[in-house]
């Protein structure tokens, strides 16, 4: 069984990005600059944004963090987004989710210029991905694709089953795994919570990508022996034996599934660390005008 180590791979990608930034500095070019907007005081959001800012420093990027009160109006937030859109020094913009209920995520996402949408969430970038055009692929799907590539997982002609149809992971993964590229060229089945006979379908998968958001939903009975299993889920569960008082688990019952899988991502340390590395990669593409000339 191969352990697909996202932590190690993400550090390799960051080192590659840092090397390119060092070259840009020597060439006298523009240093990539990522801006993040954080609304309110959500603890998890603060942690995620803090990790992104720290990673920017690690690879030599410039970063800007805009903090706004939870009471900020939708109009005020849209104005901040537009100001960053018009700032030529900033290459990438992310708006940390979730947003307060009085603000439309759709409106805010749609306000971000596609050229600066390094999260890959705007309709323009999702459309480009669906058409197979160069684009910023959203961070988690890109991270999964990169793990498959770097671990040389064969995908052509394989049956890929995706569990979960979110716009952030499941749906884009189904498109990416079916495209005429590597990784890709799979026959893809997209399943979800309403799918009948889900266990029977998942057991036919050569590659199983699980992004349902339910702790340890996938058990050994749902997985074919020798399958490649990608676990996107992450959940905190109480564990008094841990100093923190909790442990992290995924959507896959790891202890059951790992012995029969050919390769599997752990939780933590699998897909999760790849998201920030992917975000940095997209920001580098933006700074170098590789996608939008």
**For residues 214-235, average pLDDT:** 97
Question: What's the rounded Cα separation, in Å, for the pair 28 and 25?
Answer: 5
Q: What is the fold of 139-272?
A: Rossmann fold (3.40.50)
Could you check whether 27-113 and 139-272 share the same CATH topology?
A: yes
125-145 pLDDT tens trace: 999 999 999 999 999 999 999
Look up residue 192 and give its two tokens: 């979800």
Asked whether residue 101 carries a pLDDT value surpassing 90, the answer given is yes
Q: Is 119 a catalytic residue?
A: yes
Question: What's the rounded Cα separation, in Å, for the pair 63 and 54?
Answer: 9
Question: Does domain 27-113 fall into CATH 3.30.360.10?
Answer: no
Percentage of residues in the chain having pLDDT higher than 70: 100
Query: pLDDT class for 56, splitting at 50, 70, 90?
Result: very high
DSSP states along 9-23? HHHHHHHHHHHHHHH
DSSP states along 22-69? HHHHHHT-PPPEEEEEEES--HHHHHHHHHHHHHHHHHT-EEEEEEE-
- Name the active-site residue from 14, 52, 116, 158: 52
Q: Is 86 a catalytic residue?
A: no
Those residues whose C-beta lies under 8 Å from the C-beta of residue 230, and which sit 6 or more positions away, are 4, 144, 147, 148, 207, 208, 209, 210, 264, 265, 270, 271
Question: Model's pTM, two decimal places?
Answer: 0.94
Q: Is 52 a catalytic residue?
A: yes
Those residues whose C-beta lies under 8 Å from the C-beta of residue 172, and which sit 6 or more positions away, are 126, 129, 137, 138, 141
Distances (CA, A) of 79 to 66, 86, 115: 12, 11, 18
Rounded to an integer, what is the distance from CA 81 to the centroid of its chain? Answer: 22
- Name the active-site residue from 91, 117, 119, 231: 119
Return the domain boundaries, the chain: 27-113, 139-272
Mean pLDDT of all residues in the chain?
96
Is the distance from CB of 116 to CB of 91 less than 8 angstroms? Answer: yes
**For residues 222-231, average pLDDT:** 98
- Name the active-site residue from 5, 14, 91, 96: 96
Distances (CA, A) of 209 to 112, 147, 153, 161, 165: 29, 12, 13, 6, 11
């Amino acid at each position: 069984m191969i352990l697909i180590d996202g932590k190690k791979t993400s550090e390799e990608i960051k080192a590659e990005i840092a090397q390119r930034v060092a070259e840009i500095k020597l060439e006298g070019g523009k240093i990539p600059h990522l801006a993040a907007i954080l609304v309110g005081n959500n603890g998890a959001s603060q942690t995620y944004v803090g990790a992104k800012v720290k990673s920017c420093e690690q690879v030599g990027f410039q970063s800007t963090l805009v903090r706004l009160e939870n009471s900020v109006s939708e109009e005020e937030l849209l104005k901040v987004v537009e100001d960053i859109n018009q700032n030529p020094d900033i290459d990438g913009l992310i708006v940390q989710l979730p947003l307060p209920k009085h603000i439309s995520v759709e409106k805010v996402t749609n306000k971000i210029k596609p050229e600066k949408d390094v999260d890959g969430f705007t309709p323009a970038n999702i459309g480009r991905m669906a058409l197979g055009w160069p684009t910023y692929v959203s961070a988690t799907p890109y991270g999964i694709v990169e793990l498959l590539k770097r671990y040389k997982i064969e995908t052509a002609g394989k049956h890929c089953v995706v569990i979960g149809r979110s716009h952030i992971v499941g749906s884009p993964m189904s498109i990416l795994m079916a495209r005429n590229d590597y990784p890709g060229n799979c026959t893809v089945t997209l399943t979800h919570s309403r799918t009948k006979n889900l266990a029977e379908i998942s057991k036919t998968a050569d590659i199983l990508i699980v992004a349902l958001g339910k702790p340890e939903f996938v058990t050994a009975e749902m997985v074919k022996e020798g399958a490649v299993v990608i676990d996107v889920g992450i959940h905190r569960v109480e564990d008094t034996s841990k100093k923190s008082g909790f442990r992290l688990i995924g959507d896959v019952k790891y202890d059951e599934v790992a012995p029969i899988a050919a390769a599997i991502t752990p939780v933590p340390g699998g897909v999760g660390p790849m998201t920030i590395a992917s975000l940095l990669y997209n920001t580098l593409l933006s700074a170098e005008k590789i996608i939008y000339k």
